[in-house]
A = this chain, B = another copy of it.
Amino acid sequence: MAQQQGARNLTVVGTASPPIDAVERVTGQAKYVGDIELPGMLVAKVLRARHAHARIVSLDTSRAEALPGVKAVITHKDAPKVPIWGNRTYALNEQVRFAGEAVAAVAAVDEETAEKALRLIDVKYEVLKFVLDPEEAVKPGAPQLFPDGNLEGQPRVLTRGDVERAFAECDRVIERVYHCPTMWSGGMEPRVAIAQWEGNKLTLWASTQAPCRVQTNLTGQFNLADSQVRVIASYVGGGFGTKSAAHVDETIAALLARKARRPVKLQYSREEEILDSNTRFETRVYVKIGVKRDMTLHAMDVKAYINQGAYHVRLGGLGNQATHIYKTPHLRTVQYRVHTNLPNTGPTRGVGDPQETFAIDSAMDEIANEMGWDPVEFRLKNVKRNGDPIARGGTGPEDGRLVTQVTDRCIEEGAARIGWARRNAAPGAGQTGPKARGIGVAVTERGNGGGLAGATVTVNLDGSVVVFYASTDIGTHSRTTLSMIAAETIGVALASVRAVAGDTEVAPYDGGSYGNRVLYSTGRAVDAAARDCREQIFATAAPMLKASAADLELRDGVVRVKADASRSLPLRELMQRRGRSVVGDGNVAQSQAEVNVERAAGAHFVEVEVDRETGKIRILRYISAHDVGQPINRTVVENQIEGGTIQGLALTQAEEMRFDPRDGRCLNANFLDLKPPTMLDFDARVIEPIVVDNVGEQGPYGAKGLGENPCHPGMAAVANAVYNASGIRLRRVPFTRADVLRALAEQRTGVSRTA
């Protein structure tokens, strides 16, 4: 990308522009799937099992079908015996594997009729024993969810060096376990899908991050060609990974619509959204860490249980954070991905990285404190820098070299901003009153998307520009940032660009909006498509300006001869004279090996106040320093950092999904009991984003992905700050007041009641 590394004379990229669709969003004119009504559209409702584990013995839908107004009823007998994309489940299963699983669905003329029909469906179950704990689930004799057992494939094992020998070489070794429960992580908008058949063509509107994945699933479910399935996800009310893959609901809606021969809308309630989504999986991470006296991290042994619940979108576990961020010569990580009778799980913001960061960066802090080292100094000593080994394959042997990494600068800039030197020299030192203050740090990094990306860019006859991409804008403002890339590359004002997102029919295949990939990968596709446009424009302009295409430039909507600015032509006039639209095509597949060696770092610093009387942890100040490569839109970058930081902090406070051990049912599948934080819980003003100046190699204009990273460090940073404030060590999220008070009591009495 020599062009990107040369003189950067950017006019649009790097500015702080308001979102181009801000007015539509705030005035309610932006159409979400829930806003769509189709003539003759039926309402779908889903009957859900109340057993955590059962087999359906009989299913009588005749009374429901006979109810006036009911147009279709489906059960597992109607579901194709084709697993939902990336999952083990069918659209409806004969075996129920979690309390809340769909067993039948009804389409009726209105909601009341549909709900009445659900009550008329007679299901007889053979109730089976269930298991909720991942470590219990892999023991002999545990209830089995699948014929091949509860373990998903082989354990994922990564080894480097000789861990056993290395621990013997260490000057200090500690062992700890860190626990994150199953946690809700959806968006404000519950899942919703509208299916409409026209002949053998299916149009599905869905609130999804990955329209092309949903399309792929539906072509498989119904044995259709790509051209016969159109998935549209124009506006999406948040996704965070829970909508990053196909789910059962889209297929259920399509099955009902096909059977009823009418359009069908299936809108999840909040309870359904919480129970039957791809929620954040429980992790139990055992960490053994060893250091040498010279402050080098020498060995790490990580054993993790990933509680996938009943079904799981096969898109990750832990991200092997430790292998990427720290130079650890001897390393072993073993991940057990286990099925239990909890609701299905999947990737949610950061996938397993927040949980892993919590474990690794807490353990790093613990051993630094035990050694009397400055945790920042310890990290700076051990973080990888450019040129250090990194796995080109993502995991496995470190056969590549890290590029454009600025982890150290994130740490240094964050430390300077918060005033790291102010921290308590020893935990709780000088904190005499009921309220103890302390400062903590945690660092993170992550790879950027990649995969198949596509976009087209059209220049209209009046010179206005439209960007088409099949990924969605899930609130990350990709409509705006991708339009900025097109504006910059073509050489027009942002105001003349509009973006059409999330329609599989009108844009080329694109992986979707997940994994830090839209800006990084789809952005490259937009850049390529815009270059294609610019070339076509120059080819048109050359004879008009009596110059060769290579001698032309296009800036501010005017094509000029570089050497003679008096020979120029406004794009609008050029297009009118050309009389044909310009269509640029930007399908790209980034080299995964090159993508994998370029990673984006972040360092979070937090100052907390622990109320030793109430157990409350208050965030006083929070610095989120991130490498985003070249920022495309500074406002969007700062919003993303703030949002992700809050989401990471939310995990420290609430959002645990709790289950009744007697029946496996979720006890808090509602916002009142789940307690996701609101505006009242966090003062966003305490969060200070730092955009660390940097330019990447693989993204458009050197941009890097950002979406996931700010969510990673929150748990570890707060735990480390609480330790610095009070000397208590929290190893399980959320950090409830009860946990804090219990730990303080243990600290006073010296008696531990926790692991």
Chain A positions near chain B (C-beta within 8 angstroms): 21, 23-24, 27, 29-31, 35-39, 197-201, 219, 225-228, 452, 454, 456, 458, 460-462, 464-466, 468, 496-498, 500, 503, 505-506, 508-509, 579-585, 587-589
Q: How far is the CA of A201 from the CA of B23 in the complex (A)?
A: 10
Beyond A36-B39, A227-B466, A464-B225, is A508–B580 a contact (Cβ under 8 Å)?
A: yes
Contacts of A23 in B (CB 8 A): 199-200
Chain B residues with CB under 8 A of A589: 579-580
Quick check: A30 and B198 within 8 Å, CB to CB? yes
Chain B: CB-nearest residue to A580: B587
Flag if A506 contacts B506 (CB, 8 Å): yes
Would A39 and B29 count as touching, CB distance under 8 A?
A: no
Complex interface: chain B residues within 8 A of A506 (CB): 468, 500, 503, 505-506
Q: Is A466 a contact of B29 with CB atoms below 8 Å? A: no
- For the complex with contacts A225-B462, A226-B461, A461-B509, 5 further pairs of A-B residues with Cβ separation under 8 Å are A29-B199, A30-B198, A31-B198, A226-B460, A500-B505
CB distance from A586 to the nearest CB of B (A): 9
Contact (Cβ within 8 A) A580 B509: yes
- Shortest distance in angstroms between A634's beta carbon and chain B's nearest beta carbon? 23
A634 to B31, CA, bound (A): 43
Chain B residue contacts of A465, Cβ below 8 A: 227
**Contacts A201-B24, A462-B226, A466-B227; A583 near B38 (Cβ below 8 A):** no
Give the chain B neighbours of A509 by CB distance below 8 A: 460-461, 580-581
Query: Which residues on the B side are within 8 Å of A464 (C-beta)?
Result: 225-228
* Shortest distance between the CB of A534 and any CB in chain B (Å): 14
Q: Which residues of B contact A29 (CB under 8 A)?
A: 197-199
Among B31, B226, B498, B584, point to the contact of A228 (Cβ < 8 A). Answer: B498
**28 A-B pairs whose Cβ atoms sit less than 8 Å apart in the complex:** A23-B199, A23-B200, A24-B198, A24-B201, A29-B197, A30-B198, A35-B39, A36-B39, A37-B37, A225-B464, A226-B460, A226-B464, A227-B460, A227-B464, A227-B496, A454-B583, A456-B583, A461-B509, A500-B505, A503-B506, A508-B581, A508-B583, A509-B581, A580-B588, A581-B587, A582-B587, A583-B585, A583-B587
Shortest Cβ-Cβ A-B pairs, 4 listed: A508-B581, A226-B460, A225-B464, A580-B587
User: Closest Cβ of chain B: how far from A578's Cβ, in Å?
Assistant: 8
Chain B residues with Cβ under 8 A from A197's Cβ? 29
Q: Is the CB of B201 within 8 A of A498?
A: yes
Pick from A505, A580, A588 the residue with the most CB of B within 10 Å: A580
Residue of B nearest to A572 (CB): B225
Chain B: which residue is nearest A38 at the CB level? B37
Complexed CA–CA distance, A358 and B514 (Å): 66
A452 to B460, CA, bound (A): 13
- Residues of B within 8 Å of A37, CB to CB, are 37-39
A580 CA to B498 CA, complexed, in Å: 24
A471 → chain B closest CB, angstroms: 13
Query: What residues of B have a CB within 8 angstroms of the CB of A582 in the complex?
Result: 587
List the B side residues contacting A496 at CB < 8 Å. Answer: 225, 227
Instruction: Given the known inter-chain contacts A199-B21, A505-B500, please indicate yes or no for A452 contacting B579, CB distance below 8 A.
Output: yes
Closest chain B residue, CB of each to CB of A500 = B505
A636, chain B: closest CB distance, angstroms: 18
Taken together as a complex, chains A and B put the C-alpha atoms of A62 and B225 apart, in Å, by 56
Q: Which of A29, A500, A584: most chain B Cβ within 10 A?
A: A29
The answer for the CA separation of A460 and B579 in the assembled complex, in Å, is 29
Q: In the assembled complex, how far is the CB of residue A324 from the closest CB belonging to chain B, in whole angstroms?
A: 25
In the assembled complex, the Cα of A585 lies from the Cα of B468 at a distance in Å of 14
